[in-house]
Amino acid sequence: MPERALPPSYDINFDRQNFSEQLVRRNLETDLGERFNVVISKTKYYFDGHLLKSQGDIEPFVETIKKGIQERQKYAGDHDRKRELAEFENFNKVQTYLLEDNLVISVSPKGPRDSCYQRNYFDLYEKTSGNEVLMTRFSTQMSIRELTKAMQQINPDFGLGSEVDDIYLLQNPISTNLSTNQILEIFHPDYEALREEELEKLLIACQPLIFAYINSLIENPNDVEIYRRALLNFADDFILKPKTRGLLQYQLQDAAFMPVFASQLAARPVRYVVAGCGAQGDLLISNFSPYSVVEFASGKKTSSEKTLNCRCPFCNRHVEANISSGRITCPECGNSAPYQC
């Protein structure tokens, strides 16, 4: 089956065309959370009439989803087109339910192997006060079958007579009177994912680069891509090489040296990651640094077929990946990518 390019998880052109400092900052921070599959993330919405808007946005969030669907048409296969329409249906149902109810559960399993959507999570939308809504996203390793059973514990009729797949689950959020703690006893967050407090440390450390990215959108458009790549590589060093954190932060504190440091970071290959709805980084595995998508380890075989102990960028599992005929293939999810020894 021929490869289909994954869309970028972050669109710099969107920032250029829809510039809002608050929105850009939030989107960059969200993107970093997805890069490391943070176990919990939060987004605040508010009702303007009967429509939900996210903080910093002028338009209703359903309009943002519509734009996303239009942009991704050049990437999406048949399945993902249906899934993206299901996401639009999902959010419309969520905001309708919240007009009457206080808590809504939305489930988003990963799609099939050729899908852009390779992360599992579930969202809890909860009214907090007045017209405000807090969405808390939990990463999970639950399968579609397990997620379906969890939904049936809350609503026994869920999925009856239907073929439940990732699209069906996404199309059908449910409201509930259960507490958050009760829901978390039914659904199981992936507590092996990046902890929320670690993400907070990362976001604080990244602020100089985030500010530089935002400033370049206004004053130096040619530098935007540099600061984007620098931000991703800085974040990887901070999380994957924790002993270097002090030095990394020191190098960003010198305002005069920071552009030079950013250029050095940007010149490196960017670790390829399949995030929630697209890809971050450089595709060719031969360009990766040792701590990246394929974390190089010992024991390469000398035969024509080899294996590599690494983390798969598609399913995020540690595996013994097979290398043959110029490609590396994950034995768990079956996805592959070009590889040069």
| Domain ranges, residue 208 | 1-6+23-37+194-283
Would you say 321 and 328 are in contact if contact means Cβ atoms under 8 Å apart? yes
Same domain, 254 and 309: no
The reply to whether 235 falls in a domain is yes
Number of domains in the chain: 3
Same domain, 144 and 213: no
Same domain, 219 and 322: no
Q: According to the model, what pLDDT value does residue 60 have?
A: 93
Q: Alpha carbon of 318 to those of 233, 305, 327: distances in Å?
A: 21, 19, 17
The reply to whether 104 falls in a domain is yes
**Phi/psi at 321 (5° precision):** -80, 145
Q: According to the model, what pLDDT value does residue 208 have?
A: 95
Q: According to the model, what pLDDT value does residue 300 have?
A: 33
**Phi/psi at 69 (5° precision):** -60, -45
Same domain, 53 and 108: yes
The reply to whether 14 falls in a domain is no
Would you say 71 and 64 are in contact if contact means Cβ atoms under 8 Å apart? no
The size of the chain, in residues, is 341
H or E stretch covering 40: strand 40-48
Same domain, 244 and 144: no
Which tens digits make up the pLDDT trace of 105-127? 999 998 888 787 878 899 999 99
Same domain, 237 and 326: no
Dist CA 175 CA 125 (whole Å)? 9
The reply to whether 246 falls in a domain is yes
Same domain, 147 and 204: no
Same domain, 300 and 275: no
Q: According to the model, what pLDDT value does residue 7 have?
A: 52
Mean pLDDT by 10 residues, the chain (341 residues): 48 73 84 81 91 86 86 76 92 96 94 82 91 92 94 96 95 95 91 84 94 91 90 92 91 88 91 64 39 24 53 64 70 62 47
* Spatial CA neighbour of 168 closest among 82, 261, 277: 82
Same domain, 259 and 306: no
Same domain, 90 and 104: yes
Question: In a 10 Å sphere around its CB, with 0-12 CB exposed, 13-18 middle and 19+ buried, how is residue 100 labelled?
Answer: exposed
Q: Give every CB contact of residue 332 below 8 A, 6+ residues apart in sequence.
A: 312, 315, 317, 319
Which among 259, 283, 307 is the end of a domain?
283
Same domain, 263 and 306: no
Dist CA 175 CA 274 (whole Å)? 30
Same domain, 150 and 31: no
